[in-house]
Structure 1
Amino acid sequence: MAARRVMWIFSIFIYILILRLSNCFRSFQVDELLKGHYDFKDVMKQQLGGKFTVGINDPKSYTGEYPVRGTEVRPFYMDVYPVTVAQFWKFKMHKKYFITSAEKKGYSWVLANHVSDHVKKRWSAESADPWWLAVKGAQWDRPEGPGTHVRDRLDYPLVHVSYRDAKAYCMWMGKRLPTEEEWEFAARGQLRGVQYPWGDRYKKLRMNVWHGKFPDEDKGHDGWKSLSPVDAFPAQNNQSMFDMLGNVWEWTSTRYYERVVDRKLQDLKYVLKGGSYMDTRDGSYNYVVRTANRMGQEPTYSAHNVGFRCAASAPHLMEDLRRKNTKYDRTTPAPKRKRGPVLHRKPDLNKTTKRKADREKILRKEEL
C-alpha cells in the first residue's frame, strides 16, 4: 500500500512538472511571436454621442432592460474589437507582477462540456448549476484549466477576467471601461429602437450563440461550438463594430441593481452586456442575445464566457459639436465697436508747434 501511494504521488508530481514545462515552452513561443510585427487589433472607433433610447419594450424581461428610457451620451471612443488574448499578454509582459482575480482565487468557472475527464476528476468542483464547474487553475492563459493554453488562440477574446482586471488593463492603456449607455450606443450604431445592431430581424452567421439543447448539445450552426476569434463574423453594425453580440459578455462601469429590491440592501454588482456563446437568440436557454439585454455580476466574478472592451473620453469632439451647434443670427447687425479717444504723444505736439512757428516766420518775411 505504501509503495502504491508513493508511486501515485510521484506520478502526480511528474504530471504537474510536464504541464509546467510545456506551458513554459508555449509561453516562450508566444513571447517571441508578439515581439514581432503582430496585429494586436487595438483599433478604436469615434462615437459622436447624442440622445437615444436605452432598453427594449418587453415587459417579460427581468434583467432591467425594460422599460425603455431616454438618455444622452457625450462623444467618446470605443474599441472596435473585444480585448484579445494577445493584447492582455502584452500587458502581462509589462506588468509581470499583476495577478488576476482568477489567479488569486485559484479557480474560475468553465462549462463542463469543455473540461477533460482528467481535469473533472482531479481539478474541479461542481456548482449549483450542473453545467458550471469551478476548475482549479483555469485562468486567462489556461481557459479550460490545466493542460490547455492560448498559444493558438491569440485573436480570441480574453476570458476569465473580473471587473477589477478589466479596469486595470484599461487604465494601463490610458482608457477606461464604457458605461452601459455608451456600450449600447456603440452597439446600435445609427439604428435606434431595434433588437440587433443590424436591425430587428435575426440573421444567420452574424454572432456566436448556442444552437441546440443546452448544455449537452451545441450543433454549431454558426461554425463554432465554443469561443470564436473576435473577427470570425462580419461587422455587426454600420459603424464597423465587431463581436458586440455573442461570444463573450463584456464588463461595463455601470452599477447593477435589481428592480424590486431596495438599492441600499443590494450587493455591489456591475452590468455586463452582449451575451455569450452559451446564450440563445430566443432565450430558450439562458439569456436572450440582443442589444438591450444585460446581466449583473460581482466585481470578482470570472468565467469562460466573460470578457471586456475599453472606451475613452473625447472632450475635443464635444468642443467641435458645440461650435457646430452654435447658431448665429445674421439678420441682426453686429454691434458697433466704440472708438476710444485719440491720444497725442509729446513728440507729436512738439512737431506741430514747430511747424506753426516756421509758417509764421515765412509769412512775416513775405510781408516785409
Structure 2
Amino acid sequence: MIPHDHDGSPHLDDAGTSASAADCCAPKGRAAFLAMAAPATGTVPTAPSARPHRIEQVTVPAQTFLMGDARGDQNRGDGETPRHPVELDAFSIDATTVTNDDYARFVDATGYRTEAETFGFSAVFHLALTAPESDVMGQAPGTPWWLGVRGADWRHPGGAGSDLTDRGDHPAIHLSWNDAKAYCDWAGRALPTEAQWEAASRGGRDGDRFPWGDEIGGTDGAPHRMNVWQGRFPLTNTLDDGYLTTAPVRSFEPNAYGLWQTVGNVWEWCADWWDAGYYAVSPRHEPAGPDHGQARVMRGGSFLCHDSYCNRYRNAARSSNTPDSSMSNTGFRSVARREEASA
C-alpha cells in the first residue's frame, strides 16, 4: 500500500526526494483524517495558577548569529534562506523536551484533555501501531505510513494497546501546538520563538549542520549522535541507534549549551506562525514570526528522519503543521517568559 520503485524503495521524484517529502515526518493537519471520523467537541479547561515546572534550565547567552542554511542542504519550499543576522537577548530554555512525567503533572493538576483525546484519535507511524485493526481509521493521503488511530494519545502512544510503562522519561508526544501552549500557560512558560530555538540548538556553532558540527555520526564506527531512522524508510529500521520510536530525553550527548536532542527524536513546536518567506522580511532583533497564519513552526526533525527522503534533522531545517495536529513524533520544550527572564 506504500508506493515503491521497482527496487522496493519508497518512490522518489526526479529531484531524489520523497514524492511526499513535505509531509513525510508528519501528516499535514488533522483534517487529513477528519473524513474518516467526526471530531468530538468541547472546551479547553482553564489551568490553575500553580507552576511546578521542574525541568532543568539552560541559559542561552545574548548573541548575534546567522540564522538559516549555510551548507546548501535546504529543502525546497521550507524557506531556510536567505541566511540573515539575528540578535537575541539572553534567555532560559528547557534542557530537554517535556517528558511524559512532566506532562502528567500538568494533567493531574488541571484535568486537561489533549486535543487527541478530545477528537478521539491521533496519527501513529505504522510500525509503532499497538491497537486492534478496528481502531485504524485509515492512512493519511499521500503518506500511507501514517495511520489515523482511534484511542491514540499521549498516554497511549501506539494506540489503545500501549501505555507509558518505562516511558516516563521519554518526550510527551501526540501533543498539538494548542496542547503545548496549554502546558506553558499553566507553568508560566512560553514556547520558544523559532529564532530562539535555532540559537539554542546551534550551541554557539554558527553555520554547522548539527549541534555538534557537520558530520552526521553513526557511520564508519563513529557513535550515533541522534535518534533518526536507519535502514529503508518506511519499511525497515535496523535500529542501529537503539530506537524504533522515541528515546529517553537524555540519550546521546548534550550540545555546548547543555541542551539534549534538539535534533532527532521528536519535532518541537515553536511559538511562531509559519511563513516560508519570512526570512526575507524578518526583523534583526528578536524576530517572533508573522502576525498570523494557518500553521505553526516545528523544528528539529524526529526519529523518522532519513537522508533518503527528508533531511530535516538539522539546526536550520524548518517544517510546520496546523496547531490542532498531533502525531507520534512531535513534542515541545519551553522557555522562560520574557517578563520573568528580566525580573
User: TM-score when scaled to structure 1?
Assistant: 0.70
The aligned residue for residue 326 of structure 2 is 302
Q: Does 1:212 align with 2:231?
A: yes
Residue pairs, 1:171-250, within 5 angstroms? 171-204=185-218, 205-235=224-254, 237-250=255-268
Taking a change above 3 Å as real, the CA distance of residues 240 and 122 of structure 1, as seen in their structure-2 partners, is: closer
Amino acid at match of 1:217: T
The answer for the alignment partner of 1:335 in structure 2 is none
Q: Give the C-alpha shift of residue 197 in structure 1.
A: 0.6
User: Which residue in the other structure is 1:91 paired with?
Assistant: 106
Deviation sequence 1:305-325 (CA, Å, 0-9, x none):
000000014568769xxxxxx
Q: Closer, same or farther in 2 for the Cα pair 1:113/1:312, shift >3 Å? A: same
Q: Does 1:277 align with 2:295?
A: no
The CA deviation at 1:61 is 2.3
CA distance in 1, matches of 2:58, 2:163: 31
Query: Does 1:109 pair with 2:135?
Result: no
User: After superposition, what is the alpha-carbon deviation per residue over 1:188-215, rounded to whole angstroms, capped at 9, x for unaligned?
Assistant: 1121111111112222311000001111
Distance 1:179 1:267 in 2: 15
Q: Hey, what's the Cα distance between the residues in 2 that align with 1:219 and 1:316?
A: 45
Shift of 1:70: 1.0
What aligned pairs does 1:14-33 form with structure 2 within 5 A after superposition? none
Superposed CA offset, 1:253-282 (max 9, x none):
01111349xx99x951111000000002xx
**What is aligned with 1:133?**
147
Residues 49 and 185 in structure 1, CA contact (< 8 A), matched pair in contact too: no
* Cα distance change of structure 1 residues 102 and 122 upon mapping to structure 2, 3 Å threshold: closer
Q: Which has the larger radius of gyration?
A: 1
Q: Tell me if the contact between 1:231 and 1:242 (Cα under 8 Å) persists in the aligned partners.
A: yes
Instruction: Assess, with a 3 A threshold, how the Cα gap between structure 1 residues 165 and 317 changes in structure 2: closer, same or farther.
Output: closer
Count of aligned pairs: 272
CA RMSD of aligned residues (A): 2.2
On the 8 A contact 2:188/2:337 being kept in 1, the answer is no
Question: How many Å apart are 1:48 and its aligned residue?
Answer: 1.7
SS in structure 2 at match of 1:130 = strand
C-alpha displacement at 1:87, in angstroms? 0.3
% identical equivalent positions: 34
Contact between 1:84 and 1:154, CA under 8 Å: does it hold in 2? yes
- Find 1:46's aligned residue among 25, 47, 59: 59
Aligned equivalents of 2:310 and 2:194: distance in 1?
Answer: 21
Per-residue displacement from partner, 1:81-134 (whole Å, max 9, x unpaired)? 0000000001111011x1111111111000111114x52344432221110100
Q: 1:60 to 1:84 in 2, by over 3 A?
A: closer
- Hey, what does 2:29 align to over in structure 1? none
Contact kept? 2:193, 2:271, Cα under 8 Å: yes
Q: Which amino acid aligns with 1:209?
A: V
The within-5 A match list for 1:119-130 is 119-128=132-141, 129-130=143-144
Q: Which residue does the alignment assign to 1:288?
A: 312
Q: Is 2:67–2:195's contact at 8 Å kept on the other side of the alignment?
A: yes
Q: Is contact 1:54–1:181 with CA below 8 Å preserved after alignment?
A: yes
Consecutive unaligned residues of structure 1, counting only runs of 5 or more, are 1-39, 320-368
Describe the SS at the equivalent of 2:75: coil
> Residue 146 of structure 1 is aligned with which of 150, 156, 160?
160
SS at 1:226 equivalent: coil
Higher helix share: 1
Query: Counterparts of 2:157 and 2:210 in 1: how far apart (Å)?
Result: 29
Alignment of 1:167 with 2:193, yes or no, is no
Q: Which of 76, 92, 102 is the aligned partner of 1:77? A: 92
Residues in 2 aligned to 1:288 and 1:299: alpha-carbon distance in whole angstroms: 19
| Mapped partners of 2:176, 2:85: distance in 1 | 29
SS of the aligned residue for 2:231 comes to coil
| Partner SS state of residue 250, structure 1 | strand
